[in-house]
Amino acid sequence: MTTYAQKKKQTNRSDTLWTHTVNTQTEQISGAKKHKLQIGGYGEISMHRFFYSNDFNRFRYPDQYKSVKSRGQFDLPHVVFYISYNFGKGWSVSSEIEFEHGGTGTTVEIEEEEFGEYEQEVEKGGEIALEQFWIQKSFFKALNLRIGHIIVPIGLTNQYHMPIEFFTVLRPEEESAILPLTWHETGISLWGEAGKWNYNVMFISGLDAERFSDRAWIKDGAVSPYEFKIANAYAGAFRVENHSVKGLRLGLSGYYGHSAKNSLKADKYSNVQGAVTIGSFEATYNDHHVIARGTVTYGHLGDSKAISLINKNSSKNSPSPRTNVASDALCYFVEAGYDFFSFSPKLKEHKFYLFGHFGYYHSMFQTEADILSNSRFERYIAAGGINYYPIPQVAVKAEFSSRIFNSPYNMENTVSLGVVYSGLFNR
């Protein structure tokens, strides 16, 4: 039985393969590409109803926020446009531009006239980012060289971040709370496929310890608030995947790099390295009308106490959150769905998944001595809902989720609706 992602119709197959162009890099070696020029994209439209307060005092005085009025929100989490061109003889170029929450206008710089202080100007919420831009030379199937701004495939969602590649309306909260999503850096990548194995090895710029925080661990360290990315220290990343068993894909990814010297005022981190080590194991299954996914990610930050003290003493105008940061962070989740339309031959062109999702994350899982590990950063996620696919490139999602804390904090419930797409515009 052909799985949904392996539909034999050529018109659908081309779009399905594109969803992994950025991630598993299969498009240019699959033989499915019809045109030298490829244009595509993906996007998300979402609506949420939150049954909890967003007041920052809800963690300080939880008893006062047990019963609050619900609030609503419309959003465009991600709208991405993709373009690539195959020059021939193994040379190609590709790019992605992403609009998050409608775009933004913001910059941070140091003003010499203001005694070297940071100055920030914000014109609009959201973000516009060049998520990818790279030039590639393909030697053969097992060896490809890519140079430019590329995705760092650490964790399950960075590898499979298209909106039709996860069940929840938004990207899984567990990974997005402590890792950059999507994580993109400028560097060099060697990747390829050999038999039932895929690999990717990368040399990239390191993270910026000035952006680390108690709430998001190293997540914001990948984003530069300046008009350039500081690369005083470098990092390496890798990913290997195996797909020997039909429908099953196993992945292992890792990252190591120093972070303390990658701020504009690097001298304040003298004698501090801030080594970041991350390991992640993932598994996905897609067969017999079942889609299941799961991952566990663990990370360690060296010199976390020293970085915490330095960041908390930073200028109030610096891009640092000026909080403690943990030495270790942990997240995991599993989700699974079954296509109930598979019972009816009349509905075989559509898909209707009923899914469940459960996960955990703690951005301050372990801390160095004298740094408090605040229990409000330990959270469980329980969610369930539906994904309806009228066509393979479009999905309608509905979800109920609960963010569960340890006592004395209140449970945070949300109802979400979403319409998403992912595909090529020329086939």
For residue 120, what pLDDT is reported? Answer: 61
Indicate if the alpha-carbon torsion angle 184, 398, 333, 354 is positive or negative: negative
Tokens of 33: 């590409």
Amino acid at 245: V
Question: Which residues have CB under 8 Å from 176's CB, separation 6+?
Answer: 157, 170, 219
The answer to whether 331 and 364 have CB atoms below 8 angstroms apart is no
Question: What is the mean pLDDT of the segment spanning 373-389?
Answer: 95
Residue 152 contacts residue 132 (beta carbons within 8 Å):
no
> Which tokens go with 123?
């014109």
**Regarding predicted confidence, which is higher, 367 or 3?**
367
Three-state DSSP at 174 gives helix
pLDDT band at 38 (very low <50, low <70, confident <90, very high): very high
Greatest mean pLDDT range, 28-32, 53-57, 362-366: 362-366
Of 128-132, 150-154, 161-165, 238-242, the least confident: 128-132
Which is it for strands 117-124 and 105-111: parallel, antiparallel or unpaired? Answer: antiparallel
Residue 171 has pLDDT above 50, yes or no: yes
CA distance 122 to 102: 14
| Spatial separation of the C-alpha atoms in residues 348 and 345, rounded to whole Å | 5
CA distance 98 to 172: 18
Poorest-pLDDT segment among 214-223, 331-340, 368-377: 368-377
d(CA 259, CA 261): 6
Residue 14 has pLDDT above 70, yes or no: no
CA distance 108 to 110: 7
* Mean pLDDT, range 95-101, rounded to an integer: 90
CA–CA dist 366, 242 (Å, integer) = 32
b/e per residue 196-224 (b: at least 16 CB within 10 A): eebebebebbbbbbbbbbbbbbbbbbbbb
Q: What does the domain layout of the chain look like in residue ranges? A: 4-424
pLDDT score for 117: 60
Residues 6 or more apart whose Cβ sits within 8 Å of residue 309: none
Q: Is the model's pLDDT at 374 over the cut of 90?
A: no
pTM, rounded to two decimals? 0.87
If one counts every other C-beta atom within 10 angstroms of the C-beta of residue 424, the result is 23
SS3 readout for 373-394: CCHHHEEEEEEEEEEEEEECCE
What is the model's pLDDT at position 123?
56
Is the separation of the CB atoms in 423 and 164 below 8 Å? no
- The domain made up of 4-424 has a fold known as Porin (2.40.160)
How far apart are alpha carbons 407 and 364 in whole angstroms? Answer: 17
State the number of CA atoms in the 13 A half-sphere of 150 facing the CB.
30
Can you tell me the distance from the alpha carbon of 246 to that of 259, in angstroms, rounded to the nearest whole number? 40
Angle at 205 between CA 222 and CA 284, to 5 degrees: 65
- CA atoms within a 13 Å half-sphere pointing along the CA-CB vector of 366: 10
Rounded-to-integer distance, Cα 198 and Cα 412, Å: 39
User: What's the CA gap between 410 and 404, in Å, rounded?
Assistant: 7
User: What is the secondary structure of 3-60 as a DSSP string?
Assistant: -GGG---HHHHHHHHHTTTTTT--HHHHS----SEEEEEEEEEEEEEE-S---GGGTT
**Count of CB atoms within 10 A of residue 227's CB?**
8
Is the pLDDT at 20 greater than 90? The verdict is no
Q: Give the three-state DSSP class for 113.
A: helix
* Tokens of residue 107, six digits: 């910059």
